[in-house]
């Protein structure tokens, strides 16, 4: 049985999961948008987001869980409620999305594999590679030939000047600016070696 890693405050995590038995979790553009809407509702108060990508049957998120103080200040909740595991907030998010999909498409049972997967990032030097991995996932799975052409990832938000809740400036620092960010994404990424480290 796979050991479930505890999600701790003030730590970076790669959060990812796929549909049960490899089934799709997104069926339409509206589904992707609703997933992001729920993400804003449930997760932005407990975590900062650095990169994300949604594909038909799985997703990837790079987040840093906020400190207990930051969570308290952003949620205006009682501190006793905040001290519960941050993983519970992710569970509420995934359950809310699954219930909506089940209702919309007349399906029953689990939508996602359980428990959702998480990998603590101990070495911050690896964060840059993880951003590249996440954004290159649609290329690896042949949804597109070019990273910048894929709609459902954070790539465009990071190179844009539009307002975003993403930690854009921090990500661009890891790549020494937007020019290098774009150029690095155009190079071949060793997806297999990263997946081996992630044990996907």
- Dump pLDDT digits (tens) for 42-58: 999 999 999 999 999 99
**Which of the pair, 2 or 45, is modelled with greater confidence?**
45
Residue 22's SS3 state is helix
Model confidence pLDDT, tens digit, residues 94-146: 999 999 999 999 999 999 998 999 999 988 778 998 999 999 999 988 999 99
Q: What is the pLDDT of residue 25?
A: 98
CB burial of 29-38 (b: ≥16 within 10 Å; e: otherwise) equals: eebbebbeeb
Q: Which residues pair with 18 in a beta bridge?
A: 58
Angle at 24 between CA 22 and CA 25, to 5 degrees: 115
- The residue with greater pLDDT, 85 or 114, is 114
Residue with the larger pLDDT of the pair 74 and 119: 119
The overall average pLDDT reported for the chain is 89
66, exposed or middle or buried, with CB in 10 Å at 0-12, 13-18, 19+?
Answer: buried
pLDDT of residue 124: 79
| 149, pLDDT greater than 90 | yes
Note the pLDDT of residue 200.
Answer: 59
Domains of the chain: 12-198 (3.30.70.1290)
Q: pLDDT grade, residue 1 (50/70/90)? A: very low
| pLDDT band with cut points at 50, 70 and 90 for residue 77 | low
d(CA 175, CA 164): 18
Give the pLDDT mean for 148-156: 96
Cα–Cα distance, 47 to 10 (Å, whole number): 9
- Residue 80's beta-bridge partner residues? none
Tokens coding 199: 């044990």
pTM, entire model? 0.90
**% of the chain exceeding 70 in pLDDT:** 90
Report the candidate in 16, 32, 51 with the shortest Cα–Cα distance to residue 185.
Answer: 51
| Residue 33: strand, helix, or coil | helix
């Amino acid at each position: 049985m796979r050991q479930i890693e505890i999600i701790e405050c003030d730590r970076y995590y790669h959060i990812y999961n796929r549909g049960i038995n490899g089934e799709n979790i997104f069926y339409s553009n509206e589904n992707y948008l609703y997933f992001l809407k729920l993400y804003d509702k449930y997760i932005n108060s407990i975590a900062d987001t650095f990169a994300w990508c949604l594909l038909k049957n799985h997703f990837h998120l790079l987040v840093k869980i906020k400190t207990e103080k930051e969570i308290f200040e952003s949620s205006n909740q009682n501190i006793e409620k905040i001290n519960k595991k941050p993983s519970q907030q992710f569970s509420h998010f995934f359950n809310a999305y699954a219930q909506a999909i089940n209702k919309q498409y007349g399906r029953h049972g689990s939508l996602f594999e359980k428990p959702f997967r998480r990998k603590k990032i101990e070495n911050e030097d690896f964060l840059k590679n993880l951003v590249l991995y996440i954004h290159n996932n649609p290329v690896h799975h042949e949804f597109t030939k070019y990273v910048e052409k894929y709609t459902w990832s954070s790539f465009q938000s990071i190179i844009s000047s539009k307002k975003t809740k993403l930690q854009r400036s921090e990500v661009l620092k890891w790549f020494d600016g937007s020019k290098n960010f774009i150029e690095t994404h155009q190079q071949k990424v060793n997806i297999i070696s990263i997946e081996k480290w992630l044990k996907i």
